[in-house]
């Protein structure tokens, strides 16, 4: 059973990578969506009009993800955040944020797998995504939440952390609005991981969770354009700003491979060791790459499980890296052809 599951998972991963690649190709050769028309006509948020925001109340289920919580707060997903079909999550995320269909299949399918549920027929509550495990997506060192060992309720943002993140913004848009940039996010993640390790005796860290943390952060750049005026209500109240729409205008949405073009630079720029060098209070023992050398709070079995899971993640990332290289070649060829036509 375990072998068959592993083989099936590898087949699905290969299918998703291939699917994602061809969606990217379609995005190159088809016109982008017009501003103001990114959200489909039949979906909530079309014409920049979002359903009313209603804050969660006692008993409502919420996750560690502000974007998913916003979907429930606006009634796009059930307001109580419960009994959500995985397939419905696929559709609503696709319509609302303009992620590619390959992206919107892979992430809910991954969530169903780590919850030991069926993507095709089961439902989940948002709070279930807060599972703290080696193969789950909730992780220590979040930019908007304290670690689960310190604050078990991951459904609410930590406003101090959110404000610290927003204050990292150094960019400026053409209209003068403040923007978060790739270096800003790398710096914020460096600080957060260092001080999380310092304050959380049960802190855990892995290649997968670090990369996923950078991916979460990168949505602020790709989907929100890094704009502080849009990110503030999303991260503080978990709601859409008035007349907001996704900044991604690709006709078939943001692919995973294209997304990695932001995720990888963000993660590469993280330098925990540099933050530690400026901390005169306590020094943590760090490896050369800035990763904590001692993984606290893990048994030997958990550590081996995490290492095996990380190795699978590395293989998966390599597949996407090859897709990125191929996509860049195609994209550059297309630009060259366009320039020839304009000569």
* Structural domain boundaries in the chain: 2-342
Q: How far apart are CA 134 and CA 186, in angstroms?
A: 23
Q: What is the pLDDT of residues 275-312, one digit of tens each?
A: 999 887 755 555 444 444 344 444 555 545 555 555 55
Q: How far apart are CA 302 and CA 309, in angstroms?
A: 10
Ranges 135-139, 163-167, 181-185, 297-301: which has the least confidence? 297-301
Pick 338 or 137 by higher pLDDT.
137
In CATH terms, is domain 2-342 a member of 1.10.489.10?
yes
Query: What pLDDT score does 299 carry?
Result: 52
Q: Is the CB of residue 226 less than 8 Å from the CB of residue 171?
A: yes
Query: What pLDDT score does 258 carry?
Result: 96
Confidence of residue 5 (pLDDT cuts 50, 70, 90): confident
Q: Is the CB of residue 184 less than 8 Å from the CB of residue 168?
A: yes
Query: What pLDDT score does 273 carry?
Result: 94
Percent of the chain residues past pLDDT 90, beyond the cut: 77
Phi, psi (5° rounding) for residue 229? -65, -25
Q: What is the pTM of this model?
A: 0.84
What is the average per-residue pLDDT within 77-83? Answer: 99
For residue 311, CA distances in Å to 35, 101, 137, 304, 316 come to 40, 26, 16, 11, 9
What is the average per-residue pLDDT within 6-20? Answer: 91
What is the average per-residue pLDDT within 105-109? Answer: 97
Query: What pLDDT score does 313 carry?
Result: 55
Average pLDDT, the chain: 87
Confidence of residue 314 (pLDDT cuts 50, 70, 90): low
Confidence of residue 187 (pLDDT cuts 50, 70, 90): very high
What is the average per-residue pLDDT within 149-166? Answer: 98
Pick 292 or 16 by higher pLDDT.
16
Q: How far apart are CA 210 and CA 113, in angstroms?
A: 20
Q: What is the pLDDT of residues 320-342, one digit of tens each?
A: 555 555 545 444 444 434 433 34
Residue in the block written with tokens 């802190």: 203
What is the average per-residue pLDDT within 251-268? Answer: 97
């Amino acid at each position: 059973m375990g072998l068959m599951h592993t083989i099936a998972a590898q087949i699905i991963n290969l299918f998703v990578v291939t699917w994602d690649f061809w969606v990217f190709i379609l995005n190159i050769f088809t016109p982008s969506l017009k501003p103001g028309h990114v959200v489909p006509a039949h979906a909530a948020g079309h014409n920049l009009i979002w359903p009313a925001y209603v804050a969660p109340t006692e008993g409502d289920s919420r996750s560690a993800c502000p974007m998913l919580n916003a979907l429930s707060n606006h009634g796009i997903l059930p307001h109580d955040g419960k009994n959500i079909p995985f397939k419905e999550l696929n559709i609503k995320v696709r319509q609302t944020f303009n992620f590619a269909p390959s992206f919107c299949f892979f992430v809910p399918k991954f969530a169903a797998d780590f919850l030991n549920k069926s993507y095709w027929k089961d439902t989940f509550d948002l709070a279930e995504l807060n599972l703290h495990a080696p193969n789950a997506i909730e992780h220590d060192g979040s930019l908007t939440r304290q670690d689960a060992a310190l604050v078990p309720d991951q459904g609410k943002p930590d406003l101090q952390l959110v404000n610290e993140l927003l204050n990292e913004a150094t960019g400026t848009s053409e209209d003068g609005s403040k923007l978060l940039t790739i270096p800003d996010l790398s710096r914020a993640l460096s600080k957060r991981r260092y001080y999380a390790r310092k304050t959380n005796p049960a802190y855990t860290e892995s290649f997968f969770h670090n990369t996923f943390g950078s991916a979460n952060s990168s949505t602020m750049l790709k989907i929100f354009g890094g704009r502080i005026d849009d990110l503030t209500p999303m991260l503080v109240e978990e709601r859409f700003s008035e007349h907001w729409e996704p900044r991604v205008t690709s006709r078939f949405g943001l692919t995973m491979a294209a997304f990695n073009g932001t995720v990888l630079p963000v993660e590469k720029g993280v330098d925990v060791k540099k933050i530690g060098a400026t901390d005169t209070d306590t020094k943590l023992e760090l490896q050369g790459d800035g990763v904590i050398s001692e993984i606290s709070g893990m048994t030997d079995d958990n550590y081996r499980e995490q290492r095996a899971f990380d190795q699978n993640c590395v293989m998966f990332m390599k597949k996407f890296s090859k897709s990125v290289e191929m996509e860049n070649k195609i994209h550059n060829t297309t630009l060259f052809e366009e320039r020839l036509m304009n000569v």
